[in-house]
Homo-oligomer: A and B are copies of this chain.
Amino acid sequence: MKEIDFWFTVGSTYTYLSVMRLGALEAKNKIRFNMRPFSVRQLMQEQAGNPFLNNDKKMAYMQRDVERRALLYGLAIKSPVPYPIEKFELTNQIAVLGAQEGWCREFVCRCYHYWFGEGLVAGSPVNLSRSLDDIGQDPARVIREASSVAVVEALEDATNAARGLGLFGTPNFLVGDEVFWGDDRAEDAIRFAQTGGF
């Protein structure tokens, strides 16, 4: 089965559109996505900054675009979506711990569901505890272990790897070292993986 590395950061709005579709895309295309959380914030600062926080028109457009696309995909959406997230580092450290322990995708999907579907911003105490509860993980244990030096360093290592791959945003679909950036490139990445290039 072909594999695609899904490099992402919790906190991005467009990542919502992708992460919620991974399961359906796998079933439809006989492909497997590997969850690769990293921290896009540092890479954005090294390049041209957050494209939304410095641009009120792009921010307004992004909210409407994500809303429309969520409707097209049949995803829950309660606009406007609160932005940016809270406890950015901790939330992505939890995603890293989840990748190590095998529950990354389930956590990220619950986290995004509460954020976009119910207006509970990602990283907030209520979002974190509900998301972890839903997937049978103890919030106290997870938050403690996700704050450990080992997990902090694992997220840094992932971010350094992302930098080396040339990433500058999220979400990304990687077929080998071929980068497809953005939710709207998911289908291109799948086609590329299945045909070996075009």
The answer to whether B168 and A61 have CB atoms under 8 Å apart is yes
Contact with B along A53-77 (1 / 0, CB 8 A): 0111110110011001101100000
Residues of B within 8 A of A54 (CB): 47-48
Residues of B within 8 A of A181 (CB): 61, 65
Residue of B nearest to A169 (CB): B58
The answer to whether A60 and B198 have CB atoms under 8 Å apart is no
Docked complex Cα distance between A69 and B189 (Å): 11
The answer to whether B72 and A168 have CB atoms under 8 Å apart is no
Residues of B within 8 A of A64 (CB): 179
Tell me whether A118 is interfacial, beta carbon within 8 Å.
no
Residue of B nearest to A166 (CB): B57
The residue that A48 contacts in the complex, of B55, B65, B182, B185, with Cβ under 8 A, is B55
The answer to whether A57 and B188 have CB atoms under 8 Å apart is no
Residue of B nearest to A44 (CB): B55
Docked complex Cα distance between A186 and B75 (Å): 21
The answer to whether A68 and B168 have CB atoms under 8 Å apart is no
Tell me whether A51 is interfacial, beta carbon within 8 Å.
yes
Residue of B nearest to A52 (CB): B48
Docked complex Cα distance between A169 and B52 (Å): 13
Distance of A195 from chain B, by nearest CB (Å): 11
Tell me whether A49 is interfacial, beta carbon within 8 Å.
yes
Tell me whether A167 is interfacial, beta carbon within 8 Å.
yes
The residue that A60 contacts in the complex, of B58, B166, B180, with Cβ under 8 A, is B166
The residue that A61 contacts in the complex, of B72, B166, B188, B192, with Cβ under 8 A, is B166
Residues of B within 8 A of A51 (CB): 48, 51
Docked complex Cα distance between A72 and B192 (Å): 10
Distance of A197 from chain B, by nearest CB (Å): 9
Q: Shortest 8 CB-CB distances between A and B: which pairs?
A: A48-B54, A57-B168, A47-B55, A48-B55, A184-B184, A57-B166, A58-B168, A71-B198
